[in-house]
Amino acid sequence: MESKEEIEEFYDCHEICSYEEYDTSSAREKASILWLLSKAFEGEIPADLMEPFYRDQDNIRRLKPKIVHSLANAELYCLALVNIYADPNYHNLDHQGIVQVLTRKGINLVQSREAPLTETTLVQTAPIRLNLHMAVIDGIMSLYIKEVLIPEKIFEVVKKFSSVDASSEMPSNSEEAAILWINKCCKALEQEIRLECSSEEECRLPKIPVLQNILDICDGCCIAAILCYYCPNFLRWQDICWNDPMSLGDSIYNLQLIRDFAQSAYLEKLIFLTFRGHSVSS
């Protein structure tokens, strides 16, 4: 694993683009499509699709034809639902069938102002209406979160390693469930560190942050803490940056730790985090 000094030196030599220059739309499209591919292929994304976009002879960014075709015929959506629910009955749905499944399960798709979300618009390939497909992908993501982060189940999981008060801490939705689990994992790690430090003369207790909003995970602190709690043999708490406040370099360092963990634990096809000379994207 690279040291903090090495990572900071790397980023000292590479310009990180400003928020205004960063293309959030392109980054979101790439991450969303990779997520869909990971669900469709059960984590084994074909090597030629790990970079979903390419540049044509006019340097225009385009989605690879294989992905365009698989979105337009709803194949990727069907495969994702089949694998999420382990149910082959989702294999032969068209786009309207996919939308109906999402609606029945309480997921309402965001309609575009540019064009209606219909079978006709979703099958188009010249050009593909990627903004409409992004709405469908967002819907499947929301469904997956809803099925995985069930508040009652997360609460029962947390009870196995931490004290919780059902009257005041029972989450009401998936986001609250995620925040509860993350914070309790961080608290449990903090307790383990305190016990470890009590037997060592030179041991500085880190200040592990408490999440108030799920977006606060962007500095990598809490994610790294969770990985350390569950897999201490892969990631030591001493290697995590706990600075308060966190600088951009500190955040990049923690995100690098997470990426290194994914590679060492053979999870690199499930965690879509890339570092570029001019940006960091996920």
CB-based contacts of 10: which residues, under 8 Å, 6+ apart? Answer: 2
Taking the model in full, what pTM does it have?
Answer: 0.84
Has residue 279 got a pLDDT over 70?
no
Has residue 104 got a pLDDT over 70?
yes
- Report pLDDT digits (tens) over 60-76: 999 999 999 999 999 99
Residue from 140, 151, 75 nearest 108 by CA: 140
Longest dimension (CA), the chain: 69
What pLDDT is attached to residue 48? 95
What per-residue string of b and e applies to 242-275 under the rule 16 or more CB within 10 Å gives b?
Answer: beeebeebbbbbbbbbbbbbbeeeeebbebbeeb
Domains of the chain by start residue, with CATH: 8-148 (no CATH), 150-281 (1.10.418)
- Report pLDDT digits (tens) over 206-246: 989 999 999 899 899 999 999 999 999 889 999 999 998 98
> What does residue 266 show for φ and ψ, rounded to 5 degrees?
60, 40
Segment (H or E) for 163: none
Residue 43: both structure tokens together: 């984590």
